[in-house]
A and B are shown apart, each in its own frame.
Chain A
């Protein structure tokens, strides 16, 4: 056999075959090069810059100073500790609420369950920054609407205070926001498990004389623990990356997490220190990569012990008797806190000339002037246009690249596709703020400086494409695997080239998945905040950034008006997205 192989390679020179293969697949080579460049160059730049002194565009030489400074900074360790504490406690709260509602809505006779199912999805349509701003208006210590209300109640009992009682600008406030924020995602990740669980497990517990509560804690929860654990880890990772609430609530109170520390170092403090920020970015990224590897392993292991089968069981409804209405009340309270209260306070503020505590007197002042003012500024139309362009271009670019990448991973007869598969997973582990930081550095230095994309819409599009390409590729991978190989081969033998086959046969066949991914990216691009903010300049402002600018300039009513408009645009889009994604893959948006 060995001799045969030798003689064969003499017969077909290797380099020659390789060259011919390349020549026939120029499209694939270009795609792989683009993807590689898109991910490797910024990360490489980030690493290099962590060893450089001075501004990235004008480096002053190699140094380890950045590392010694960073690791000698108490603030860095404080931020790290805050990030971990916030993520841990926040995730615990999220998981308890989400699991409880998944069980109540899916498996008990709580009233209005179908309505609750629909309502629990609504937080998806509220960008994190608006959620935080809403609560800042509700619970700021002096003028927060809810604080004023609480003080009035206390006054009835003769307790007079002038401030508080609750201060949102605190670590407690951050934990509260983080805990509420992730409920929808975790709910969607565990609710399927509740539905698919074999009811005979619980029936066996009941006939063994266990009560409802004992059955829930002794049988239902342990049986579902793999799914719950996976969801909890996912939620922990998202909390580690959260930026919006720590920016709006944490920074004014001098509470730093890793993401806001990077933002502060590169956008606020004087002088800006890119080298230091690069060190923070590298540490942050390494931490997240380890967390994600740990998550992937855990999920893979938990699949081995799956108690949840794919069989379609009719879920057994548990009667919770007199607890039905308290359960519903609990859900109503959650909905008030997660959606109704922050949205209403934004709406209220947007209808008044300036922020006022809600009262009967103030109703007389209600006006649409803020909206008029918003649309009277020229910049607004430019910003709306930018936002739409960003949505459409980022969604299209992400999905086209993801489609081609997946096709190479699943189908193409080229080496290195395993590498590509691994590479497409990397951006998933990088927080948006670090992507943005790496892009700033990459586009301030050669070779990418010559593209002139710094400070334009182009760099924003690239940032969002990197942020969302992991999701797109995962979606496209499973879709392409479902397209029978022979359908493509039939096109080749009919005389079609690879490019024509991809365009006329493969793409139309998986169009539903492509469209679902497109909408997913578009929705996320519309509410994206950290990347557009980090990369923003005069010419590439988008809606969320303008909103933040209004807020920072103290015009809360204009910011609220923009926020209300954004939420109204996002509600139908989010629901549409969820319907598409569920149809295509059963994956959770």
Chain B
């Protein structure tokens, strides 16, 4: 599914007044693309992702998912109505449910009723995608961090969303596991042909996984700004630094 972001603007009210997190941010993502928002913390990349998910309400601009405007002037679609799946930094696995129940939850929320055997089939499918099928009946608190993240991925994929949003999903894991899951996530999304938007501050991760990278940068202004508009020079500099790290750049640096 194609994702279009047009003139996205978001300000936060703080005790010191308004802080602009995003200002007139625009970009397009092609169907099936693995698109990464890369930048230091506080540059607004998570805010962008949360706007796409519907967890934040932008002050201006519009977001179009597959030709359908989900937020724009006079339009608002709640997160539960959008065709998305999301993986959180903290995994957000519900501790009062088993692995199976966690993954089953999105299927219970759909408008069209999915019957029990169908639900079971699809949950087990999603769990085997992330190699967690044998843990189905385990209570969620008895999982390691890596296992929880796999469950979170299965939960995000089970309702077959068209867009997968990943908010720094690997940053709480140790280095070895991170590498392993990096490859898995990448393979999974290209196999399913799903559009993925990935947020990270880790350059290696971005380079290893993405078809395309958008570099977001914090400018002289304390608020985060998108590289496109304010800082092409800084963006290019960052890309050069990325190349120096020695990893092969898939796609190209978009600045």
> A residues within 8 Å of B by Cβ?
1, 4-5, 7-8, 11-13, 16-17, 20, 24, 413, 484, 486-487, 489-497, 500, 504-505, 508-509, 511
**B55 with A492: CB separation less than 8 A:** yes
Please judge, given known A-B contacts A492-B79, A500-B109, whether A4 and B9 are in contact too, CB under 8 Å: yes
Residues of B within 8 A of A12 (CB): 59-60, 73-74
Identify the closest chain B residue to A500 (Cβ): B109
**B74 with A13: CB separation less than 8 A:** yes
Complex Cα gap A13–B60 (Å): 11
Complex Cα gap A4–B20 (Å): 10
> Which of A413, A490, A496, A508 has the most chain B CB atoms inside 10 A of its CB?
A490
Q: Cβ of B85 < 8 Å from any Cβ of A?
A: yes
**A491 with B78: CB separation less than 8 A:** no
Q: Cβ of B80 < 8 Å from any Cβ of A?
A: yes
Residues of B within 8 A of A487 (CB): 92, 94
Complex Cα gap A20–B75 (Å): 9
Please judge, given known A-B contacts A484-B90, A486-B89, A489-B88, whether A495 and B159 are in contact too, CB under 8 Å: yes
**B73 with A497: CB separation less than 8 A:** no
- Other-chain residue from A8, A20, A494, A500 in contact with B76 (beta carbon distance below 8 A): A20
Please judge, given known A-B contacts A12-B59, A486-B92, whether A491 and B105 are in contact too, CB under 8 Å: yes
Complex Cα gap A505–B94 (Å): 7
Residues of B within 8 A of A7 (CB): 60
**A493 with B84: CB separation less than 8 A:** yes
Query: 13 other contacts beyond A12-B74, A486-B90, A511-B96, with CB at 8 A cut-off?
Result: A8-B59, A413-B57, A486-B88, A486-B92, A489-B86, A490-B86, A492-B78, A492-B80, A494-B80, A495-B81, A495-B110, A497-B80, A508-B96
Q: Which 10 A-B pairs have the closest CB atoms?
A: A495-B109, A494-B106, A490-B92, A486-B92, A493-B86, A492-B79, A8-B60, A486-B88, A508-B96, A495-B80
Complex Cα gap A7–B11 (Å): 13
Can you list 20 pairs linking A and B with CB atoms under 8 Å apart?
A: A4-B23, A5-B11, A8-B9, A11-B60, A12-B60, A20-B76, A24-B76, A484-B92, A486-B89, A489-B53, A489-B92, A490-B86, A490-B88, A490-B155, A492-B79, A493-B79, A493-B86, A495-B106, A495-B110, A496-B109
Complex Cα gap A486–B49 (Å): 14
Min CB gap B225→A, angstroms? 13
> B residues within 8 Å of A by Cβ?
9, 11, 18, 20, 23, 53-55, 57, 59-60, 73-74, 76, 78-82, 84-86, 88-90, 92, 94-96, 105-106, 109-110, 152, 155-156, 159, 165
Complex Cα gap A486–B96 (Å): 15
- Other-chain residue from A413, A493, A505 in contact with B85 (beta carbon distance below 8 A): A493
Identify the closest chain B residue to A495 (Cβ): B109
Identify the closest chain A residue to B103 (Cβ): A494
Residues of B within 8 A of A11 (CB): 60, 73
Residues of A within 8 A of B85 (CB): 493-494
- Other-chain residue from B55, B74, B105 in contact with A489 (beta carbon distance below 8 A): B55
Complex Cα gap A197–B57 (Å): 48
Identify the closest chain B residue to A505 (Cβ): B94
Identify the closest chain A residue to B104 (Cβ): A494
Residues of B within 8 A of A491 (CB): 94, 105
Identify the closest chain A residue to B159 (Cβ): A495
Identify the closest chain B residue to A24 (Cβ): B78
Residues of B within 8 A of A1 (CB): 18, 20
Complex Cα gap A11–B74 (Å): 8
Residues of A within 8 A of B60 (CB): 7-8, 11-12
Please judge, given known A-B contacts A484-B92, A486-B92, A505-B94, whether A496 and B80 are in contact too, CB under 8 Å: yes
